[in-house]
Structure 1
Amino acid sequence: MKKIGLIAIIIILIDQISKFYIKTNFQLGESLTVIPDWFQLVFVENPGMAYGMQMGGIFGKIALVVFRWVLIIWGTWFLTKNVKIYTSNYFIIPAALILAGAFGNVIDSSFYGLIFDSGTTYNEEFEQWQGYFGQVSKADFSGYAPLFQGTVVDMLHFPLFDYTWPEFIPMIGGKSGTFFAPVFNIADSAITVGGILLLLFKDRAFTLPSQNLN
C-alpha cells in the first residue's frame, strides 16, 4: 500500500501544480504552442467528466462529484483489501494511477470553487455553463462557487492531425475534424493509462504470487 500511496501522491502533486499554474497564469481560453502542429497548452474549464464531457446542470454536477467521492472511497477500500493479495506491479501501478487520477479531478470539482476568485459557473437563467474574463491572480479563498460546484482545469491538447471523412460514408461523409481534439489534464491521463495497463495486463495483475512460481 505504501508504493500505491507514493505513486498516487506524486501524480496528484504534478496534477495539482500544473492546474494551479495554468489557472493563475493563463486567461480562460488562452493557448500556448509548445510543439508546432502537435502539442499545445490550452486553458479550458470542464464542469463535467473527463476529456471535456458534460453532464446536466447543477444537480448533475453535484451528483457526479458525490459519485466520484463514493468511487474513491470504494477504490481505496478495494486496494487496501487486495494489495496484499495481488502484489505484482502489474496491479499496483495501474491501480495507483487510476486512484490518483480520480482524486486529482475530484479536488477541482469539490474545492476549486472555494479556493479561487474566478471560474466557470452555471447560469440558471440560460441553463448553461459560462466562463469569465480576466485572469486569476492567486488562490485567495474568496470563492466563485459553493462546495462541489468547482470546475476541473484542463490544459493538454494534442491536435495530431486534421481529417475529412470520405463522401461515400453515410451521415459523416464530407465532415472534417481533428484527431485528438479533447483538452485534458494529468489526472485524465493517469486514469486512461492506468485503465489501459490494467486491461492489457489483467491476467498478470490478478495472478496470485503462488501462481507466479508455477
Structure 2
Amino acid sequence: MYKYYGIAILVIILDQLSKWSIVENMKYGESISLIDPYFGLYSHRNRGAAWGMLQGQFWLFALVTIIVILGIIYYYHKEGKGKPLFQVSLMLLLGGAIGNFIDRVFRGEVVDFVHVIIPVINYDFPIFNIADAALTFGVIMLILYIIFEGKIEKKKVK
C-alpha cells in the first residue's frame, strides 16, 4: 500500500525541479514558444489560488492545504486498500497539493510556467505547473473511480 506514495514523491520532485529551472533560467514574464503559438513556457508567479483568486491569502491556503493533505492520507489508508485507481488519484492529489504548498511556504508564491492556447476555441488557458496538472488528473481519476465504483457496486447487488 505504501508503494503508491512514490507517485506523490515523483510529482513533488518533478514539480520542484521544473519550477527551480524556470526561476533560475527565465526572467519573470519571459516566454519561450515550443509549438508556436499553442504551447510554450511563460515565467509567471501566482500568490492566489486557481486563476489568481484570493491573492495573498497565505494563512487560508496553508490551513486548507494542511487539512486536505491530512484528509488525503486518512482516506488513502482507510479506503484505499485494493483500489489502485483510488490510490493513484489520491497520490496525484497529495503530490500536487504538497508541490504548490512548498512554493507558498518557501517562495511566498507559486511558480507557474506552462502556457497553452486551445486552438479549436482560441482559448488562452491559465498558466499552470506540474503540481496543478497532477491535481487536475487526480480529480479526474477520482471522479472516474467514483463513477465506476458505483456501477460495480450495483452489479454486485443484482
TM-score by length of 1: 0.66
Match of 1:95 among 90, 93, 97: 90
Gap change, CA 1:93 and 1:206, over 3 Å in 2: farther
Cα separation, 2, equivalents of 1:157 and 1:22? 13
Q: Which runs of 5+ in 1 are unaligned?
A: 113-149, 164-177
Cα separation, 2, equivalents of 1:205 and 1:190? 22
Cα separation, 2, equivalents of 1:49 and 1:22? 20
Q: Residue 61 of structure 2 corresponds to which residue in structure 1? A: 64
Letter in 2 for 1:192: T
Cα separation, 2, equivalents of 1:92 and 1:75? 10
Shift of 1:65: 1.9
Letter in 1 for 2:115: H
Question: How many aligned positions are there?
Answer: 156
Shift of 1:34: 0.8
Q: Secondary structure at the match of 1:184?
A: coil
Q: Secondary structure at the match of 1:157?
A: strand
Gap change, CA 1:181 and 1:94, over 3 Å in 2: same
Q: Is the 8 A contact 1:105 1:152 kept in 2?
A: yes
Alignment pair present for 1:156 and 2:114: yes
Shift of 1:200: 2.2
Q: Which runs of 5+ in 2 are unaligned?
A: none
Q: Residue 45 of structure 1 corresponds to which residue in structure 2? A: 45
Query: CA-atom RMSD, angstroms?
Result: 2.4
Q: Residue 137 of structure 2 corresponds to which residue in structure 1? A: 193
The Cα offsets for residues 109-150 of structure 1, whole Å up to 9 and x where unpaired, read as 0122xxxxxxxxxxxxxxxxxxxxxxxxxxxxxxxxxxxxx1
**Structure-to-structure mapping, 1:120-159, within 5 angstroms:** 150-159=108-117
Letter in 2 for 1:187: A
TM-score by length of 2: 0.87
Cα separation, 2, equivalents of 1:65 and 1:206? 33
Q: Is the 8 A contact 2:47 2:55 kept in 1?
A: no
Q: Secondary structure at the match of 1:28?
A: coil
Structure with the bigger percentage of helix:
2
Cα separation, 2, equivalents of 1:206 and 1:93? 18
The Cα offsets for residues 132-188 of structure 1, whole Å up to 9 and x where unpaired, read as xxxxxxxxxxxxxxxxxx10000001112385xxxxxxxxxxxxxx41420000010
Q: After TM superposition, where is structure 1 displaced by more than 2 Å over at least 4 residues in a row?
A: 160-163, 203-208
Cα separation, 1, equivalents of 2:74 and 2:151? 20
Shift of 1:90: 1.7
Larger Rg: 1
Cα separation, 1, equivalents of 2:151 and 2:8? 22
